[in-house]
Amino acid sequence: MQKYVGLILILFILGVIPQAMEIRGQAAADAPHFTDVAVQDQNRVDQTGKSVVAGGIYTTNFKIVIGAERPEQKLILETEFDEMEDVIWRLNNEYSGIDTTTWTPGNKSFSLQEIKGEADITLTARVPPEFTLDEITEDYDRHFVRSISLIKLRLPTGVILDEMIVNVTDTTMQEFERAISERVASVESSSADPKFTTFYWEMIGLARSFRDRGDVQQALDLTGALPLAAAFPVGSTDVTIFLAGIGGLAIIVAVFAVLWIRTKSASSVLARQVDSQARKLDMSLVKISRMDKALATEITQIKEDLTKLGKT
């Protein structure tokens, strides 16, 4: 008898599990979701799958596919982009789940019914202009790449059915990435003195570390001070002059330190570091003046500026 009971149980399990899997699979297939998503910038250049720029206006075409008929179920379509016109959503086809006489196409979200079919929709909206920024002081911001919800379909309970998330950058970060890519390409193809290329790579690393902690403007200033391949020093004398004049780069690092002096408690330590940089420049000036008087004059000015900053 127990053998028959076990056999019946096995047959029952083998029969129920495939049915349950089929039902679950059917439910997943019927779940409302996005398809055919395409993103364009203001110049109608395709940006699908790419980062968007803070403050930029983008047009997103997409479809909501609904495989089940549940008119009593309300869905919510929304975006974290900003409104920029009276109408940011447009329905491009006939879809009975959206009542165009009562919907709110100028708001960041609106509701629709879960009615079987497809809704062809266009969203035109602006990325929040300061989305990438962290304000440190009144006149100083840090820049970070952040994620934002371009389009989201959810239930009123908050359960997300589908969502498209994009990364947001800004023009300062983009400018830095272009500048650092040019410098990397220059040094990688260079046959300059190893002392110079070693120093150059160290400056690239320093600029990237500034970028990583959000100090992108300082990273950009430092990168801009690095020459491109055409201006690389060629002979050992040129390399000596260039390395002797690295105070021009040190001043940029010092400016960054001064920003911290104004906002952090460890001001006395950083001030001593600034003073140390100025003294190093003094020691180099005699040698540099013998080789290049114009460079010596420039570094003298840098030293004076550095000293003033240290006293700020």
In DSSP terms, which residues pair with 147 in a beta bridge? 167
d(Cα 215, Cα 256) in Å, to the nearest integer? Answer: 8
- pLDDT bracket for residue 57 (50, 70, 90): very high
Read off the tokens for 186: 């220059």
- b or e along 98-107 (b: 16 or more beta carbons within 10 Å of the residue's beta carbon)? beeeeeebee
Q: How many residues does the chain have?
A: 312
CA nearest neighbour of 155 among 223, 72, 98? 72
Look at residue 9 and tell me if it is in a domain: no
User: Looking at the structure, do residues 145 and 186 belong to the same domain, yes or no?
Assistant: no
Look at residue 79 and tell me if it is in a domain: yes
How many Cβ atoms are within 10 Å of 149's Cβ, its own excluded?
A: 14
Q: How confident is the model over 3-55, as pLDDT tens digits? A: 544 544 444 444 544 443 333 333 455 789 999 999 999 999 999 999 999 99
Cβ atoms of 180 and 204 within 8 Å: the answer is: yes
Domain boundary among the residues 142, 168, 194 is at 168
Range(s) of the domain holding residue 46: 32-168
In total, how many domains does the chain have?
A: 2
User: Looking at the structure, do residues 156 and 217 belong to the same domain, yes or no?
Assistant: no
CA nearest neighbour of 124 among 173, 83, 161? 83
Domain boundary among the residues 137, 168, 199 is at 168
User: Looking at the structure, do residues 256 and 191 belong to the same domain, yes or no?
Assistant: yes
79: exposed, middle or buried (Cβ count in 10 Å: 0-12, 13-18, 19+):
buried
CATH number of the domain encompassing residue 88: 2.60.40
Domain boundary among the residues 168, 186, 213 is at 168
Locus of tokens 């500026």: 305
User: Looking at the structure, do residues 133 and 203 belong to the same domain, yes or no?
Assistant: no
d(Cα 142, Cα 145) in Å, to the nearest integer? Answer: 10
User: Looking at the structure, do residues 62 and 179 belong to the same domain, yes or no?
Assistant: no
CA nearest neighbour of 105 among 116, 119, 241? 119
Integer-rounded Cα Rg, in Å, for the chain is 30
Q: How confident is the model over 223-257, as pLDDT tens digits? A: 888 888 766 666 555 555 565 555 445 545 545 54
Q: How confident is the model over 123-182, as pLDDT tens digits? A: 999 999 999 999 988 888 999 999 999 999 999 999 999 999 999 999 999 999 999 999
Look at residue 13 and tell me if it is in a domain: no
- pTM exceeds 0.75, yes or no: no
d(Cα 196, Cα 202) in Å, to the nearest integer? Answer: 10
User: Looking at the structure, do residues 143 and 214 belong to the same domain, yes or no?
Assistant: no
